[in-house]
Each structure stands twice: as C-alpha cells, then as structure tokens.
Chain A
Amino acid sequence: MAYSEKVIDHYTNPKNVGTLDKSSKNVGTGLVGAPECGDVMRLQIEVDEATGVIKDAKFKTFGCGSAIASSSLATEWLKGKSVDDALKIDNMEIVEELNLPPVKIHCSVLAEDAIKAAINDYRQKQGLEALVFEERIH
C-alpha cells in the first residue's frame, strides 16, 4: 500500500511533537488507544482561559504512519481554534485531507477521540462537566 503524499509529509516532518505540562490547569490531555492494538495517541491542548482559544497543541503517537499523520494534522488544526470549534472536527475531514484508505480510517477516529478526550480533561480542570460523546465502534 502506498501512502499519500500528505501522510508522508506529516510523517517525515511531524508538526507539534512534544509534551505540555499536564498538571497545568489550562492544559487538557487526551490519551487514547492501546499498545496491544498497535496505536496510542496522546494529544494535548493549552487553552487561553480568557478567550477559550487553543494557544498550543502537542502530540505524541505510537502507531503507523497514518496514525502519526492524523495526530500531527489534528494539532495543526487545533491551534488557534476555540475549544467549541475544536469539538466540531470530524474524523472524516482528516480522512479527506490525508487521503486515508478505508483500512486506516480508525487512525482518524482515534485522532478525533483524542481531541475530545483532551477537551474533556480541560473542561474538568475548569470545573465544567465532561461532555458525553456517542460511543463509536472502531
């Protein structure tokens, strides 16, 4: 299977690899996937508490090239978005942007889950209730 150019580009030059201070009140961390399944994503957002805008986003991913590319792209999209807008990112947008083949759709689902998990972590730190998302089968 050949990878799309965009996947290769994100894999070769991943954007926003790194770690934010997960104890900080304005940082939300989402850790999704499982080592036994072959992919684990950790996605973090740093939010400007006054404006609700995501100032910074970082990721680390254990997984195939498509998983790495999906999380790299997600961090790019998150930066500068409001938390509310970030919630609207749909995995199918990632699929389209990266040209993921059907067998790799689960990588985009994982990225969407990581975004939502990070936002929920942030909300809870802010004293807001966690949002409930539809169960997804992946």
Chain B
Amino acid sequence: MLKLPIYLDNNATTPMDPRVLEAMIPYFTEHFGNAASRNHPFGWEAEEAVDYAREQVAKLVGADPKEIIFTSGATEGDNLAIKGVFEMYASKGNHIITANTEHKAVLDTCKHIEKLGGEVTYLQVKDNGLVDLAELEAAIKPTTILISIMYANNEIGVVQPVKEISNIAKKNGVLFFTDATQAVGKIPVDVQKDGIDIMAFTGHKMYGPKGVGALYVRRKNPRVKVTAQMDGGGHERGMRSGTLNVPGIVGFGKACELCRLDMEEDTKRIKALRDKLETALLQIEESYLNGDKEHRLPHVSNISFKYVEGEGLMMGFNKNIAVSSGSACTSASLEPSYVLKALGLGDDLAHSSLRFGLGRFTTEEQIDYTIKHVTDTVNKLRDMSPLWEMYKEGIDMNSIEWAHH
C-alpha cells in the first residue's frame, strides 16, 4: 500500500536513517559526557565517539580526520570558511570570487564581507547553470584570496567543474572553498582528487541529524587556517569553540559511513527513478528541464511547466506530494528564484518551476503516483490558464501590454 504523503523534497532535508538514530541514542542518556572532559571515563567515552565519527566523516570525503572541524551545519561552515579566510589572509588581499547561484549562506556572507571593506566578484553562470571557467580565471587579481564555488546547486542540482576550478585556483595561488552540502554523500567527493582547500557540508541532507555539519580545512599543500568566528574554549583546533554535540556528531559520522557504503547502489536506483519521473514529466507539452542535463546530481530534477504557476500547481497535490517551487509565491520576498533567473529563464518560467528531490527512501510506486498527479494537475490548471489559451490560439504574449504591479 502506498503511504501518503510522499516526500520528494530531499534537497531541503532528508529523513534520518533509522540506523543513524540507533547509533545516536546511547549518547543522549548513557554516554552523555563532555568530549572535552579529559579526566574521567565519561569524557573519554565521548571523546572516543567523536574521534570515531571524525574518521567516518573524513573517510567519506578522502580527508584526514584532523582536517575535519565539526560545526552546526553548512550555514555555519560557509560563514566560518569565508569570514575566516577573509580575516586570516587579510595581509594577502581582500578579493573573493563567487557565483550568483550560490546558496544564501554564501551570498549573504559575501555581502557582509563587502561591508567590512572586502571586494567580491559575483560571476554570472552560463544558461546551463555552470560557471564559465575563462570568466573565472579572468576575474582573478593580485588581491584575490578565495574562490568560493558550490559543488552542486541546491535548486537545479547542477554539478560545477570542481577539478577545473581547483586547478585554476592552485595555478593562481588562491584558496578554493566549496559548499558541498548537496553533493557529499550523493556523489563521490574527494578533497584530494578534487583539489579542495576548504569544504562545508551538513548532516541533515544525507540522512543524518539536523544541526550538525563539518568544515574540511586542508592541513597540507597548502596548510590552510581560518580565523575562528566564535570565541571560547578553543575546541576543534581553535577554529570552532563550543562543547561538541556528541550525539549529533555520532549520528553524522554514521550517516557518512552509510553514504559511503551505500552510495553506488543507492545512486543507481535513485537515478533510474529520477530519470523515469523526468522523462514522463517532460512528455508534457511545454515543459522544460532547468539546468545542465549532464553535469547534474542523480536525484534532482527541476522542471518548468509553462503557463501554470508553481504554487498553484503544488496546491493541486501538496497534501500528498511534497516538492518545492521557484515560484515567488512560495518565498517571503515575493521574488521568483534567483537561481532560475540566473539561468536566463524569464520570470514567467521561474514562477512555473517545480523541484523534485528524490532520496534513499523513494520508491517506484511513489514515482508512478507523482507522475500521474503532477500531470493531471498541470492539465487541469492549463484548462484554467488564460496564458495557455493564448498560447493555443497562437497569440504572442510579448505583444500584450501587461499591467506590471
């Protein structure tokens, strides 16, 4: 029996794997010690658990455990990386390069850097959502200290050419930070092979708990340091003070281990389901895939259904299917998604988009149900859409003088 509602918003957050919960439970009540308590078994147990988790996390991304700094999540990781580099490397320069499709945790941090007197270049991505490498290289100046480009985008799932970016960074003596929140645990990420200097990721996008994440900070070739953004007890090699969230870290470690072990099988299965969903939905007339088709996460699909509005569309099934939309109506700002607009999509197509995010627990039955109900709702709303009627009558919508409000 199909159980409703169906969760297809795994880029927002993932359910926690029951195996992760199981690993965490003893660390709430039984092994509750403070990992910084050096003088009794309670502390030792906690420290041991944290060390083990640090290894699990490091192994997933090809890092040394000493290079893993535990944080409260990717927002904190993004802040610590960018602000921390800006402060630590102030004597070398003040220029940062990023892209206009980054997560707000990066973009707003960069805005903050500008207020502090830093200079930030926001690269326009190409229509497929990928960074133009020639433009990136051309943007580097003598004062550039950091390139901050995300690994995979949270709205459209495109995967940036990370290796090429890191080569450019290395060649120019600039550090490379990547927000890999959407990529780690889903596709192979290796800080050595990918040439990453600093990398943020988070537990709750990979079947781990919320409120815990990590910042990878390279220790060799080059040795990288970031200035702490919170003052206190000097935990995490002085880069992130605060009593460690032991149960969270244990769960995060377990989640990393499961992703490492299950990735190949999970990906094969999830990608087949994603492709089935996508192929079926792109059969609908006037529906368009957003973002590069090839360089993309295997579990995401972002599709615009022209002439219907995203929030109105979701309302047709959101009691039973959870997805998200780039429509303005779903955002507090009443602006459609800046990521979709950065692809050169008109506002109308941005308003008409849905993001489907599949995950470890998605089933074929759920996908079949989704295909049917999304298709039916698109058809129903098009019958109600004046724009669809105009399109069918061959009226050029650009010839109409719309009353903008």
Q: List A residues at the B interface (Cβ < 8 Å).
A: 3, 8, 11, 14, 17, 19, 31-42, 60-65, 67-68, 103, 106, 110, 113, 138
Which of A8, A14, A36 contacts B402 (CB under 8 A)?
Answer: A36
Known: A33-B405, A38-B309. A62 touches B385 (CB 8 A): yes
CB-defined contacts of A138 to chain B, threshold 8 Å: 405
CA distance A41 to B329 in the complex (A): 16
Q: Is B328 an interface residue (CB 8 A)?
A: yes
Q: Chain B residue with minimal CB distance to A60?
A: B386
Chain A min CB distance to B30 (Å): 40
Which of A36, A61, A64, A68 contacts B404 (CB under 8 A)?
Answer: A36
CB-defined contacts of B327 to chain A, threshold 8 Å: 38, 64
CA distance A60 to B381 in the complex (A): 9
Whether the Cβ atoms of B348 and A63 lie closer than 8 Å is no
Whether the Cβ atoms of B405 and A34 lie closer than 8 Å is yes
Whether the Cβ atoms of B312 and A64 lie closer than 8 Å is yes
**B288-315: which have CB < 8 Å to A?**
307-309, 311-312, 315
Known: A32-B403, A35-B397. A60 touches B312 (CB 8 A): no
Leading 4 A-B pairs by shortest Cβ distance? A34-B402, A36-B347, A35-B348, A42-B386
Whether the Cβ atoms of A38 and B328 lie closer than 8 Å is yes
CB-defined contacts of B213 to chain A, threshold 8 Å: none
Q: Chain B residue with minimal CB distance to A11?
A: B315
Q: Is B336 an interface residue (CB 8 A)?
A: yes
CB-defined contacts of B348 to chain A, threshold 8 Å: 35-36, 38
Give a binary string over B332-348; 1 marks a CB under 8 Å from any A CB, 0 the rest.
Answer: 00101000000000111
Chain B min CB distance to A31 (Å): 7
Whether the Cβ atoms of A38 and B383 lie closer than 8 Å is no
**B354-405: which have CB < 8 Å to A?**
383-389, 397, 400, 402-405
Known: A35-B402, A37-B405. A63 touches B312 (CB 8 A): yes
CB-defined contacts of B312 to chain A, threshold 8 Å: 11, 62-65, 67-68
Q: Which of A41, A64, A138 has the most CB of B within 10 A?
A: A64
Chain A min CB distance to B384 (Å): 5
Q: Is B205 an interface residue (CB 8 A)?
A: no
Q: Is B103 an interface residue (CB 8 A)?
A: no
Whether the Cβ atoms of B403 and A33 lie closer than 8 Å is yes
Chain B: number of interface residues, binned into ranges: 20 to 34
Whether the Cβ atoms of A14 and B384 lie closer than 8 Å is yes
Whether the Cβ atoms of A37 and B386 lie closer than 8 Å is no
CB-defined contacts of A110 to chain B, threshold 8 Å: 405
Dominant secondary structure at the A interface: mixed
CB-defined contacts of A33 to chain B, threshold 8 Å: 402-403, 405
Known: A60-B386, A63-B312, A65-B315. A38 touches B329 (CB 8 A): yes
Chain A min CB distance to B221 (Å): 49
Known: A32-B403, A64-B329. A37 touches B384 (CB 8 A): no
CA distance A61 to B384 in the complex (A): 6
**B197-254: which have CB < 8 Å to A?**
none
Give a binary string over B2-28; 1 marks a CB under 8 Å from any A CB, 0 the rest.
Answer: 000000000000000000000000000
**B82-105: which have CB < 8 Å to A?**
none
> 10 interchain pairs (CB within 8 A)?
A17-B384, A33-B402, A35-B397, A36-B402, A38-B311, A62-B309, A62-B312, A62-B387, A65-B312, A138-B405
CA distance A138 to B405 in the complex (A): 6
Known: A63-B312, A103-B334. A37 touches B389 (CB 8 A): no
Q: Is B260 an interface residue (CB 8 A)?
A: no
Q: Is B186 an interface residue (CB 8 A)?
A: no
Q: Which of B328, B383, B384 has the most CB of A within 10 A?
A: B384
CA distance A96 to B368 in the complex (A): 39
Chain A min CB distance to B380 (Å): 9
CB-defined contacts of B308 to chain A, threshold 8 Å: 62
CA distance A63 to B403 in the complex (A): 15
Q: Chain B residue with minimal CB distance to A34?
A: B402
Q: Is B351 an interface residue (CB 8 A)?
A: yes
Whether the Cβ atoms of B383 and A63 lie closer than 8 Å is no
Which of A38, A60, A113 contacts B389 (CB under 8 A)?
Answer: A60
CB-defined contacts of A14 to chain B, threshold 8 Å: 384
Q: Chain A residue with minimal CB distance to B308?
A: A62
Whether the Cβ atoms of B347 and A35 lie closer than 8 Å is yes
